[in-house]
Amino acid sequence: MLPATTERVSLHSAASASRKIRNETQARIAYLARHPGEIPTRLAELDREWDIERSLEANASSLAFTGIVLGATLDRRWLVLPALVTAFLFQHAIQGWCPPLPILRRLGFRTASEIEQERHALKALRGDFARIGQAEDRAAAAFQAARV
């Protein structure tokens, strides 16, 4: 059975790497709870943060393209590189694991879900969700709170 999209990476990450990422996120949230004026800046940073999927895709496509160029211009044996890269990328899509994953996790790359957890916590601290219950159109207010 295939793991859920939100669980693929965490199931194949070292517990220590996941714990470090979680602790750093909790520390940032605690800091921003004491410094709420900095929340908009952090939310903007989260908008620009690359999640682990994007990083893997960028690295894989760079390696595959390099292998194709080298295979076409220098030596056909370089074509093994894009074959391996795409195989590992497919494995990651299905299982959530590929060779660079442990390295990227140790470097602090987070999943989109982990980034969104921090975003929602900061929006809750800012009071974005408190307005929903007071709004005349609660659905529109909820949608707006989720967007910003």
Q: What is the pLDDT of residues 52-96, one digit of tens each?
A: 999 999 999 999 999 999 999 999 999 999 999 999 999 999 999
Query: Rounded to two decimals, what is the model's pTM?
Result: 0.89
- pLDDT at site 142: 86
Q: What percent of the chain has pLDDT over 70?
A: 99
* Residue 135 resides in a domain: yes
* Residue 3 resides in a domain: no
Q: What's the burial of 133, exposed, middle or buried (CB within 10 Å: 0-12/13-18/19+)?
A: exposed
* Residue 53 resides in a domain: yes
> Residue 12 and residue 88: Cα distance in Å, rounded?
14
Stretch 114-139: mean pLDDT, rounded? 92
* Residue 2 resides in a domain: no
* Residue 52 resides in a domain: yes
Stretch 116-142: mean pLDDT, rounded? 91
User: Is pLDDT larger for residue 17 or for residue 143?
Assistant: 17
pLDDT at 147 over 80: no
Please report, as a single letter, which amino acid is at residue 121.
Answer: A
pLDDT at 98 over 70: yes
pLDDT at 41 over 70: yes
Instruction: Compute CA 71 distance to the chain's CA centroid, rounded to the nearest angstrom.
Output: 32
Q: What's the burial of 68, exposed, middle or buried (CB within 10 Å: 0-12/13-18/19+)?
A: middle
Tally the domains of the chain: 1
- Residue 45 tokens read as 């940073």
User: Is pLDDT larger for residue 135 or for residue 103?
Assistant: 103
* Residue 68 resides in a domain: yes
Domain that residue 117 falls in:
14-147
* Residue 58 resides in a domain: yes
* Residue 27 resides in a domain: yes
- pLDDT at site 141: 86
Mean residue pLDDT across the chain? 94
> Residue 94 and residue 1: Cα distance in Å, rounded?
10
- pLDDT at site 148: 62
> Residue 2 and residue 9: Cα distance in Å, rounded?
12
Q: What is the pLDDT of residues 105-121, one digit of tens each?
A: 999 999 999 999 999 99
